[in-house]
Amino acid sequence: MNTTLTPELPNQAVVKRRRGRLQLIMLLLLAIGPMVLATFMYQWRFWVPDGRNYHGTLVGDGTQLVDIGVQGADEGRWQLLVTAPGDCAEECRQLVYAARQIHIGLNRDASRAVHGLAVARPLSDAYDQQLQREYPQLGRYRLDDMAYRQQVPSSEGAQLWIVDPHGNLVLRYDAKVKGKDILTDLRLLLKLSQIG
């Protein structure tokens, strides 16, 4: 059995080398191309979708509870926090009620979240007793009014915040928001999150 190898022609070697280089370039483009494209999209804001699937105002800049003047807040779980730079008037009370209802509406995920109230001024005796009686799980914190007004531009009325377990502010809502929308947003965050 005589096997003879046919020598490669110089043309075939060049073609194989070119094909190998082309494959290498294609693999590099496939691996690095999406990262480069995403960087350019982020830097120059092109092809960014206009739609969103959350109902509040996205904070997302690393602002934490202490930055807006909330003192003594618990961390470790997701939080529905109502802030009131002035008195806890009607809008504030509506948001406190909504926060509790949303917390209850989380069903099996309720253990992953808490609800709280941060106020700059002392509550009236009647409302304070009502909270102790009807909202026994409500966390209550002090709010530094000056720090709050510096950090939150529209700090005229009460706000409801979704806060992550590390104390980062995620979403903000005013008193006009529907509780169902907040519940939808929080459920999505809990579904996507592995923390808290």
Alpha carbon 147 to its chain centroid, in Å, reads 22
Residue 143 confidence (pLDDT): 92
- What's the order of all strands across the beta sheet hosting 70-71? 57-58, 169-173, 159-163, 78-84, 113-119, 139-143, 70-71
Tell how strand 169-173 and strand 139-143 pair up.
unpaired
**Predicted confidence (pLDDT) at residue 79 exceeds the cutoff of 90:** yes
| pLDDT, tens only, 133-188 | 999 999 999 999 888 888 887 666 899 999 999 999 999 998 888 989 999 999 99
CATH 3.65.10.10 describes domain 57-192: no
CA distance 146 to 152: 10
User: pTM for the whole thing?
Assistant: 0.72
Handedness of CA 83, 86, 88, 91 (dihedral sign): negative
Alpha carbon 46 to its chain centroid, in Å, reads 23
Per-residue burial over 132-152, b = 16 or more CB atoms within 10 Å of its CB, e = otherwise:
eeebeebbebebbbebbeeeb
Domain borders along the chain are: 11-48, 57-192
Residue 92 confidence (pLDDT): 93
